[in-house]
Amino acid sequence: MGFFRRKTTVSSPVSWKITQKCLDLIFESSKSNYPMEFGALLRVDRVEKNMIIEVVLLPGTVSGDSHAIFHLHMLPIDYSIVGTVHSHPSSIARPSDADLDLFNHFGKIHLIIGVTQYGDISWQAYDYAGREAVVEVV
């Protein structure tokens, strides 16, 4: 992959991974919460710190029909938590302005799951700045 134009000041990018099991759970939760949103935190493995293995439900996080489902003051101080996941009850897995604000304040990697009434799933990962990020499913 020698085609990336690289700025000299950029820090080496983290290559994120997520287990299929964890992703399946996220998809199922997104479907079962439809037409409400599902939201949770992403936890990485204690040894492999770029491997997302678990979703953690945040106390006070409710499924809602708006985007204000994360209560930032309730976020735990836990370095195994690297970001967030939430569903969009639409086919559009693109961040809203509120999402971008959240990404900017918390975490390094964020997933948005688009889910339709037919249970069709699309998903996309984003970094803290709302740029599309690659997460490898393992």
Residues that bind Zn ion (CB under 5 A): 67, 96, 99
Q: Pick the closest to residue 60 from 49, 52, 51, 68 (CA basis).
A: 68
Q: Give the span between the Cα atoms of 53 and 46, in whole angstroms.
A: 10
Q: How far is the CB of 94 from Zn ion (least distance, A)?
A: 8
Residue 80 or 116: the one with the smaller Cβ distance to Zn ion is 116
Q: Are 101 and 122 in contact (CB under 8 A)?
A: no
Name the token pair of 85: 């996941």
> What minimum distance in Å lies between the beta carbon of 53 and Zn ion?
23
Nearest distance from C-beta of residue 32 to Zn ion, angstroms: 18
Separation CA 62–CA 58 (nearest Å): 9
37 as an active site residue: the answer is yes
In the complex, which residue's CB is closest to Zn ion?
99
Which is nearer to Zn ion, 67 or 108 (by Cβ)? 67
Q: Quickly count: other Cβ atoms within 10 Å of residue 138's Cβ.
A: 13
Q: Name which of 52 and 102 has its Cβ closer to Zn ion.
A: 102
* Catalytic member of 28, 37, 48, 136: 37
Active site residues: 37
